[in-house]
Amino acid sequence: MIALIDYGMGNLCNVYRALESVGGNVEIIEKGVELDRFDALILPGVGNFGDGMEHLNSRGFTPEILKAVSAGKPFLGICLGMQMLMESSEEAPGMPGLGIFKGKVLRFPDGGEKVPHMGWNSIRVEKFCPCLNGITDDSYFYFVHSYYVMPDDPAVTAASCEYMLKFTAALTRDNVFATQFHPEKSQDKGIQILKNFVGQLN
């Protein structure tokens, strides 16, 4: 069973349908106390880092997510759900993130391309991990974001992308995988990533 975390800021319907299409047994969960009974967790999200963390905290998700990750349960973060894995963000000074990865979230610089970075862009695979099985360099994914993650340890970057600068498009470590792009909106390649994630549970 996969818990799709509903904290009021995620594109749940598209993610839910995409997971079901690859055989995922998914349930939408609105309270942190319910996470214990699930085998895997998915944290989607769009919007502001500070609002996202406030909602996770108020619904009791934060300690339960940390407990599940520490216990080794497969975890997938998407877009804002990836950014909240970091320690902090320029978008919400003073609001701690989940801190699963050391590092911060930065805003794209002004004066270059349009912000947000929106639309299709290609990635470069930096490190093999099970969720990227079948994904090659120059695969295209759909992005919508004004901020990007900068991990302290470059070894956790699973894939990178370029938009004004080179940034981390996917993170991985042990049982955690996260993407800045939206796999549920990325057609065949995105579906492949979700299929890989679900396949870990079989």
Kindly name the residue from 64, 91, 126, 184 that is annotated as catalytic.
Answer: 184
- The pLDDT of 95-116, averaged and rounded, is 95
Burial (CB count within 10 angstroms: exposed 0-12, middle 13-18, buried 19+), residue 119: exposed
Read off the pLDDT of residues 111-145 as tens digits, 9 standing for 90 and up: 889 999 999 999 999 999 999 999 999 999 999 99
Read off the pLDDT of residues 46-93 as tens digits, 9 standing for 90 and up: 999 999 999 999 999 999 999 999 999 999 999 999 999 999 999 999
Contact assessment for residue 9 and residue 52, using Cβ atoms and an 8 Å cutoff: yes
Q: Which domains are delineated in the chain?
A: 2-199 (3.40.50.880)
Read off the pLDDT of residues 10-40 as tens digits, 9 standing for 90 and up: 779 999 999 999 999 999 999 999 999 999 9
The pLDDT of residue 112: 82
The pLDDT of residue 144: 97
The pLDDT of residue 80: 97
Kindly name the residue from 64, 79, 126, 145 that is annotated as catalytic.
Answer: 79
pLDDT at 202 over 90: no
Whole-angstrom Cα distance, residue 103 to residue 100?
A: 9
Read off the pLDDT of residues 149-167 as tens digits, 9 standing for 90 and up: 999 999 999 999 999 999 9
30 tagged catalytic: no
131 tagged catalytic: no
The pLDDT of residue 9: 87
182 tagged catalytic: yes
- The pLDDT of 181-196, averaged and rounded, is 97
Instruction: List residues bridging with 162 in a β-sheet.
Output: 166
Whole-angstrom Cα distance, residue 76 to residue 43?
A: 6
Kindly name the residue from 55, 117, 145, 182 that is annotated as catalytic.
Answer: 182
Contact assessment for residue 60 and residue 183, using Cβ atoms and an 8 Å cutoff: no
Nearest CA to 181 among 199, 161, 195, 164? Answer: 161
Burial (CB count within 10 angstroms: exposed 0-12, middle 13-18, buried 19+), residue 34: middle
